[in-house]
Structure 1
Amino acid sequence: MSLRALGGKLYKHGTTLIRQVQKAPRSNVNLSTRTVSNSVKPLETASGQKSEFFKSNRYQIFRNIGIQVSQRARQVLIEDVLNRVTNRGVFQSASKRGLYGNTAPLLGLVGFAAVGQGLLTKDEELEGICWELRECMSKTQWNRELNIQENFNEGSSMNLKLFTVGEPIDKGANAVVYSVEVIDELRPKINFPLALKMMFNYDIQSNSLAILNAMYKETVPASVYFNHQGFSDFEYEFLNRTNHLPPHPNIVKILSVFTDFVPELEKCKELYPAALPKRIDPNGDGRNMSLFILMKKYDMNLKKYLENSEKPSVRVSVLLLTQLLEAVVHMVANNVAHRDLKGDNILLDLSDPRSPLTVISDFGCCLAEKSCELSIPYNNFNVDKGGNVALMAPEIRNQKPGPFNRLNYHKSDLWAIGALAYELFGAPNPFYGHNKLNSTSYKNEELPLLPAPVPLIFKNLIKNILRRDPNDRLDPDIVANVCQLFLWAPKLWLDVTQKFPTFQEILEWLLNLAAKILCENPQKEHFTEENLSYAEYLLLSTFLCRVKLNGVRTALYWIRDNAN
């Protein structure tokens, strides 16, 4: 079926569907939000059969989802989709009724087209519907990280006077982190605790542009810059050469970046006397100004969590690993390589101990140049390979400088996550300690076995991503798909003895997950043990924002080949 014919059918059936939604009185709706939420679970039936939920409700749920979701999902409507499948009058009517800003028309059309009686049959057309689903999920307001721009006007002066600085949280070789609170009553409060990271400045002149130019890598996850002295258009130009990571639940939430004079803070002379300027400590070597990064406050890093907490369950370990992999997929998609992944640079939000929220932080060693796509020339030894040599991928560590040689970072962060996976599953990191393996010379068969409780899928998956040759490793998005399928897919899909699911069955499952996500309340306090945890909710959202049917099928093939 051509795209033109598909558009005509979507127009015809979509407008009818929206008219039915408009005519349906609220009192006639039998499906509650709670019912929708609880009914979306991994299918336990044979892969060739429909779930009981969709067998009885598949048309009604997507016809009525606008009424059920209108108060939950906000600002999600894709206007260009409606312009293609509805006339302007229907669009304006939907907007007045409150459908503008939610996914009702889109999911109504997607659901009808995908699970209807043969309206779509070609794999390419089903993949097109999956694209619309990705667009829909990526527009959800609760899938965007809060930015300080919502509370402050970009370009305004931000400085330390806006905050009350509390006790120090942590200190590293290059920075110190303090807890802070916003004290300006005229500006809205932020609904989570804040932390302020002050970079140590020993050599850079006390000038905002010079400081940002030298420390720009630290600001890669930030989207708003506030300068103590104010920016001119010329001063912004250097930022254009750098890739910036869009917000993601598993990337540290940086709210703002600004420069200011280094203050005399609590315990500063005890923790970092050498980094202080001479006006505070006569023996200090620091400069008067430095870079300040306002970020969300997290509970602890991964290293402390694994040292101080009880051994996490297999499911918690899988959740942590999957979150880290989703972060890597996001970085690769935006041409950013972290290059310094380790337990100290991974932070956890432990608001829900049963399901910690994990983020990657500290981008000071990252590669984020717009002039390259994760591959840079390696002409001489002066080219920086990144930090943390112990977890540096073999293809990076072994590369020698030469006129035609390059450093390829497409799968280097993936390799580092594979090494950290040993720690997540309660085993020693094979590249740390006295008997450590050397990433320059180890052999694939020398990798130690993971503990017995670890599922075979993950034993083989970690072996794959730790292979010395990057060409032998799966792509990061496929690795993340394997983990997501293990968590949420029908178990029979993972069984090699069962029928392989069709594209239409995979798409129906994805729509099932989307219905659940869109009907959940995204506020942490509304999640209970009977439902998804907040971290699981975000994890599913990130998966649906990037999922492709071919990617799911590739991951399923790999699982069936390696799970038995």
Structure 2
Amino acid sequence: FSAQRIRSASNLSDTGKSTFYACIAVYTVGLLRAEKVAKNITPLTDIALDVSLSFQTIFIRKNKPLKDPLSAFRWQGFKLDEYLIGQPIGKGCSAAVYEAAIPLSSNYQRSEDSKPLEGTSPDTQWDHGPVIQAAETKPIQTNKQGAAFPLAIKMMWNISAGSSSEAILSTMRQELVPVSSAALSGEYGAVACHRRPVFGKKRLEPHPNIIQVIRAFTSSVPLLPGAYVDYPDVLPLSLNPSGIGHSRTLFLVMKNYPCTLRQYLSERNSDAHLSTLMILQLLEGVDHLVRHGIAHRDLKSDNILVEFDSAGCPWLVITDFGCCLADENIGLRLPFTSWYVDRGGNGCLMAPEVVTAIPGPGVLIDYSKADAWAVGAIAYEILGLCNPFYGQGRSSLESRSYQEDQLPALPDTVPFDVKQVVKMLLQRDPIKRLSARVAANVLHLSLWGENILVPKSLKLDKMIGWLLHQSAATLLMDGLVDKSRVETKMKMCFLANLEYEDLWEAAFLLLSWRSHSV
């Protein structure tokens, strides 16, 4: 970098400056490593480890989700009466979801169909808005009014938690795993923050492919549109004389997403490149969970939300943590001492080691690769086929008893590397199964590292050079082109989580698969 270029950096925007200096950092890292190699000061393996740590330092800070819709309203959104709540979006066995907005946080325009809810003031009128499909919900036909309503509110059904805020937050603590740093800043959030060790649940760091709960609070249960038809039994006595619900419950506020993955796949077919990117995003999200000692345990296409980047590429976000395992004390190894221990939701996509476990003294269920197995099953849907573990008849498989050779063949249009990743994710034996990290690295190399995947020329110095090139290009794309591009975000995830051993394993796996296919 010449002195003239450094002086010209003073004319850049703040984003441009940060990108420019980050590129200088990457460039300097490369020069220092090259000098050590030339002088035989440091072995290549040590340099590779050093490079991976340097990239983690640079990219972890940058690998954050985009700003949430309430980022400019830090002290708003902690009371239900601050929201305009629209039509119901969906309901499941534990919650109902409604479209919502805070008027000051959006270009809200009242529709002609909006009407005051009986018994409410004009400040709490209900309107139509955009679509979000949340946890364990089934689709309800909705309209698409765009960004007028950027939020969705998930109202939990409180049957057994009591009516105190602390009891509610403790009982429903799994729902709080993906809360943002500001989500629990309100009146009842203070209770949760101070009592977090008592709740014993981990709090998940933000990730581009994981939902962020941007507000969480308790409030009295209101009479919302469709309540008497959709969930009368869980209403409190004050609203339904025969209801069994408590008078207060937990409300979770999230960003609006246009559709679920299942809805998206039912309406359009994606090409091989987009399909690979979608599988990669799920693997990055699952790897993030595993790194934090969390298992989702209910992955399915209904629990994955979709929005689109500026190029129209689907951006996938894992949601609904109501069944997750996120215990500070046990990590990903669940003591399975009796049949009363909860193994998670969605029995159809329960990994073989989980569904076949038999309880007893000292028995542990290891969930470290269970979500990766579910991604392998969902990959069939992404690649245009029916999920082999759904349905009825001879074509349907059960995770309890299937054999790998019974898995349906993937279409010829699916790249060979992707076929192998799906096959290895669906290995019954978790020891043979790919971890989410290694599987993601394989897809990264397949998509963007073809020039180094030559059997006789796969050398560590070339790998280091490729990583330096990828990091500089990614920083430039992120800072000077478009922060919202899915491909750029995936490259940042890859570099932020870079581990030399995992990357080398992925490269050798790819070469091994290809050599046996010839």
TM-score of the pair, normalised by structure 2: 0.83
1:345 to 2:303 alignment? yes
1:289 to 2:248 alignment? yes
Distance 1:299 1:216 in 2: 27
Distance 1:132 1:477 in 2: 19
Distance 2:330 2:189 in 1: 30
174-183 or 359-368: bigger deviation: 174-183
Deviation at 1:479, TM superposition (A): 0.6
Task: Pick closer, same or farther for the CA change 1:25–1:185 going to 2, 3 Å.
Answer: closer
Give the aligned partner of residue 72 of structure 1. Answer: 15
1:78-477 to structure 2, matched below 5 A, reads 102-103=21-22, 106-115=25-34, 118=38, 122-140=44-62, 143-146=64-67, 151=72, 158-183=78-103, 193-223=150-180, 224-226=183-185, 228-229=187-188, 231-232=190-191, 236-238=195-197, 241-307=200-266, 309-352=267-310, 354-434=312-392, 435=394, 436-477=396-437
Two-structure CA RMSD over aligned residues (Å) = 2.9
Give the aligned partner of residue 543 of structure 1. Answer: 494
Task: Pick closer, same or farther for the CA change 1:191–1:485 going to 2, 3 Å.
Answer: farther
Distance 2:478 2:419 in 1: 35
Deviation at 1:136, TM superposition (A): 0.6
List alignment gaps of at least 5 residues for structure 2. Answer: 107-146
Distance 1:126 1:69 in 2: 32
Deviation at 1:123, TM superposition (A): 1.8
Contact 1:145 1:247 in 2 (8 A): no
Task: Pick closer, same or farther for the CA change 1:351–1:128 going to 2, 3 Å.
Answer: closer
Task: Pick closer, same or farther for the CA change 1:508–1:71 going to 2, 3 Å.
Answer: farther
Give the SS at the match of 1:136.
Answer: helix
Deviation at 1:230, TM superposition (A): 6.4
Give the SS at the match of 2:445.
Answer: helix
Deviation at 1:476, TM superposition (A): 1.8
Distance 1:138 1:212 in 2: 30
Give the SS at the match of 1:225.
Answer: coil
Deviation digits for residues 466-491 of structure 1 (CA, Å, limit 9, x no counterpart) = 111101112221111011111111x2
Contact 1:162 1:184 in 2 (8 A): no
Task: Pick closer, same or farther for the CA change 1:240–1:132 going to 2, 3 Å.
Answer: farther
1:478 to 2:438 alignment? yes
Deviation at 1:356, TM superposition (A): 0.3
Deviation at 1:231, TM superposition (A): 3.6
List alignment gaps of at least 5 residues for structure 1. Answer: 1-16, 27-65, 77-98
Task: Pick closer, same or farther for the CA change 1:372–1:192 going to 2, 3 Å.
Answer: farther
Distance 1:468 1:558 in 2: 19
Deviation digits for residues 524-559 of structure 1 (CA, Å, limit 9, x no counterpart) = xx65xxxx9711121111111111233222111001
Contact 2:163 2:249 in 1 (8 A): yes
Contact 1:355 1:533 in 2 (8 A): no
Aligned residue type for 1:137: F
Sequence identity, in percent? 33
Distance 1:135 1:162 in 2: 40
Distance 2:52 2:102 in 1: 42
Deviation digits for residues 101-149 of structure 1 (CA, Å, limit 9, x no counterpart) = x525532421322455726653212321221111111112x73553689
Distance 1:447 1:441 in 2: 12
Give the aligned partner of residue 554 of structure 1. Answer: 505
Task: Pick closer, same or farther for the CA change 1:522–1:112 going to 2, 3 Å.
Answer: closer
Contact 1:138 1:545 in 2 (8 A): yes
Give the SS at the match of 2:81.
Answer: helix
Distance 1:24 1:559 in 2: 40
Distance 1:170 1:157 in 2: 22
Deviation digits for residues 264-301 of structure 1 (CA, Å, limit 9, x no counterpart) = 22333233222322323334332211111111111111
224-233 or 346-355: bigger deviation: 224-233
Aligned residue type for 1:301: T
Give the SS at the match of 2:294.
Answer: coil
Distance 1:211 1:148 in 2: 26
Deviation digits for residues 482-509 of structure 1 (CA, Å, limit 9, x no counterpart) = 11111111x243344x521x22322222
Deviation digits for residues 36-70 of structure 1 (CA, Å, limit 9, x no counterpart) = xxxxxxxxxxxxxxxxxxxxxxxxxxxxxx66976
Deviation at 1:412, TM superposition (A): 0.5
Give the SS at the match of 1:471.
Answer: coil
Contact 1:143 1:541 in 2 (8 A): no
Give the SS at the match of 2:338.
Answer: coil
